[in-house]
């Protein structure tokens, strides 16, 4: 992540016993889910070692490219399924 990019991570994750009806195992599971969702562990692992800005940029470009390819693939599948459906509809009548 870029250092100047603001990201609100709340370092305080709390789970109350009222949330889990006093069940300790449920509290642990809920706590670990909250930590994963907030990205606290990922952030700390990223900050363990310094990454050059050029490495951060290339990782970000790669991440964006994968996301765009995934989106385009999903859209092409939706369009092809819609075309197949309309063709099937015409053939049946």
Q: Is residue 46 part of a domain?
A: yes
**What is each CA distance from 84 to 47, 72, 73, 88, 93, in whole angstroms?**
49, 18, 16, 6, 15
Q: Which domain holds residue 50?
A: 24-92
The rounded Cα 19 to chain-centroid distance in angstroms is 25
DSSP, res 83: H
pLDDT at 61: 97
Q: Please write the tens of the pLDDT for every residue from 40-89.
A: 888 888 889 999 999 999 999 999 999 999 999 999 988 887 766 666 55
pTM of the model: 0.49
The encoded tokens of residue 81 equal 């399924």
- Say if 18 falls within a structural domain: no
For the chain, what is the domain count?
Answer: 1
**4, part of any domain:** no
Whether residue 19 is contained in a domain is answered as no
In a domain, 11, yes or no: no
């Amino acid at each position: 992540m870029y250092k100047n990019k603001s990201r609100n991570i709340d370092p305080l994750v709390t789970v109350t016993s009222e949330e889990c009806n006093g069940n300790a195992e449920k509290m642990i599971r809920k706590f670990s889910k909250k930590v994963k969702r907030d990205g606290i562990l990922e952030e700390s692992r990223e900050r363990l070692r310094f990454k050059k800005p050029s490495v951060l940029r290339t990782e970000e470009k790669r991440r964006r490219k994968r996301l765009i390819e995934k989106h385009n693939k999903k859209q092409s599948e939706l369009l092809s399924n819609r075309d197949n459906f309309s063709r099937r509809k015409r053939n049946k009548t």
